[in-house]
Amino acid sequence: MDKLKSWWNGLFGGNEPPRPKMCPACGTLVGATATRCHACGTSLKYSLAAAGRGAAGFFGGAAPATTVILIVNILMFVVSLVSSLQKGEELSLVGGMDNEVLYRLGASYGPAIFEGHQWFRLVTANFLHGGVFHIGLNMWILLSVGPALEELYGSARYLFLYTVSGIFGYLLSALHPQFSVGASAALLGLIGAMLAITTKRGGDYFRAQRRNLILWVILIFAQGLGITALHVDNWAHFGGLAAGFVVGKLLADRQPLPGPEMKRAYALGWLAAAILIASFVFMILHVRDGIS
């Protein structure tokens, strides 16, 4: 909007002189015409911090990665729902999605991954859901824990955590060949990271938080063992939880410091973004493949 107003004012000769701006990575005040922060070296135009700050402003929040993940999940749900309804499926709270539609859109399926080398399914399966209840519950969990973790780790490392957890969750699931979709593998990774944080900090508060998280995890796995009608994939849950816990142990539970640590964080974020984009590109290329 600022660029649009600036262009509009400039069109009629009313452009204001440029003003100093904030570095999106470290918050340092930099010159109006600067293209790189003099304190941390971050590019003010072509960096994940700049893109994240722009996305946060556009979507009206301080958690741009969580917002984008939410939007992609909803868009994929709409696409799969419309395609399923066109094939004659009936929508219900716990189902309604056609398996062939989900397969074409990138569901996790062991033979397709290991024999067909369609590794993109380890990523795209995290953005597909089997029904209204499925996506509703998962997006509620995402919005409950995602923004806080994104604020703690920074958008770049948070995106890496989410992506890696989802990949390892569905990798473990695919080793026990089953047809599976849902964001819960990546979401269990977020819970695993929260568990890791509580083990690195002492005090009654974090011990209580750890007990609550462990109870939550037990209930999730118990649901998978006891309610077979929901087809809960505990292998994906366990893989995501373990990956998130390991990443949470390795990452410092704070924003990355300016300098080399910041650059490493952005490298992880760009790597995760590249994996996500490439996976959806490969999904589009294979969208006409049938279940084999």
**CA torsion, points 171, 172, 178, 180, in degrees to nearest 10?**
-60
Q: Is the dihedral of CA 2, 276, 260, 190 positive or negative?
A: positive
In the chain, what is the greatest distance between 2 CA atoms, to the nearest angstrom? 69
Burial of 147 (0-12, 13-18, 19+ CB in 10 A): middle
Burial track 48-63 (b if 16+ CB lie within 10 A, e otherwise): bbbbbbebbeeeeeeb
Taking residue 275's Cβ as centre, other Cβ atoms within 10 Å add up to 20
Element (H, E) at 58: helix 48-59
User: Which is catalytic among the residues 129, 134, 237, 286?
Assistant: 237
- Grouping H, G, I as helix, E, B as strand and the rest as coil, residue 29 is strand
Q: Is 184 a catalytic residue?
A: yes
Catalytic residue, from 184, 279, 286, 292: name it.
184
Q: Evaluate whether 129 touches 152 at the Cβ level (below 8 Å).
A: no
Q: Catalytic site residues?
A: 184, 237
